[in-house]
Structure 1
């Protein structure tokens, strides 16, 4: 059973995925998010990075339909979304890989790390305020070198989705809570 903190994090994440802000997540929301990221990072359709991201997005949507869409309406409400996050296998097999695919898009030079500017560009499409983006980067850049490595990001993603520690740095991955 998810804790109150986890439910709060999952609710914030719902807002990031509800691209059209209509209170439901559907295939269009997922497509809009991916399209925004690919446009931001100049990832052309059909390229390997584009195919990888679209593949993760399609897996995310199909798994959401199977795990979260309890009423079968092909939309995921906030309640369905939050309830579906109580499945560690969904988090490990779908959402964390989706987050890592996003990280790969942001790593535009392929050096295995994301700069403040690259992270900012990725997070601005999710509706995070400039202040939240700056705070998130500062916390995620654990060693303070001006970059978030894949290892740091992976740790943050696991913290966000799995940790019940209110002080875990990954809690800020999707912006300030509450």
Structure 2
């Protein structure tokens, strides 16, 4: 069964993100959920899909949907267990995770300065989760304390979140405290 290997911790953290992404709360991720997520994110940025920034963000998010749908068998609906099944395979394909991290870094780095500020990061969290979690999430991720996330910091955290199973890893906080 897909997802059977996921630990309780992995199930908890992935379930939280899955629930936030499931815009219509039907228990599946679909293309329309990713379109809704993209629209929420663009709205928080004060722009829309007709701008170059909006087109870029939409392309990244819809590309992520296409990858997820393909990994789950191209059914157009992806269940939590299918996502967990994909997560189980991620440690065997680190390039897929770091590729997704690179795309997400580009999406989050609104001003293109090569780092993610706390404000940029909080907009991503708010778009994905509907709110900004407290508890110093950004500070927990900003390992060197310079007030920004480098591409390497973000990529490492992204990998820890999606492919890792360590509750103590800073990357486990990518979408807030689990």
Q: By the TM > 0.5 criterion, same fold?
A: yes
Residues of 2 paired with 1:16 and 1:111: CA distance? 28
Partner of 1:103: 105
In the alignment of these two chains, the number of paired residues is: 173
CA distance in 1, matches of 2:143, 2:28: 34
Deviations 1:115-145 (A, max 9, x none): 2222112211222644x35522111111112
Per the TM alignment, residue 55 of structure 1 is displaced from its structure 2 partner at its CA by: 2.9
Q: Distance in 2 between matches of 1:65 and 1:146?
A: 35
**Residues 1:41 and 2:40 aligned together:** no
TM-score by length of 2: 0.80
The answer to whether the Cα contact below 8 Å between 2:39 and 2:48 also exists between their aligned partners in 1 is no
Unaligned 5+ residue runs, structure 1?
A: none
Equivalent residues of 1:115, 1:147 under 8 A apart: yes
SS for the counterpart of 2:149 is strand
Which of 85, 97, 106 is the aligned partner of 1:83?
A: 85
Question: Secondary structure of 2:111's partner?
Answer: coil
Separation in structure 1 between the aligned mates of residue 24 and residue 94 of structure 2, nearest angstrom: 23
Question: What residue is the counterpart of 2:17 in the other structure?
Answer: 13
TM-score, normalised via structure 1 length: 0.80
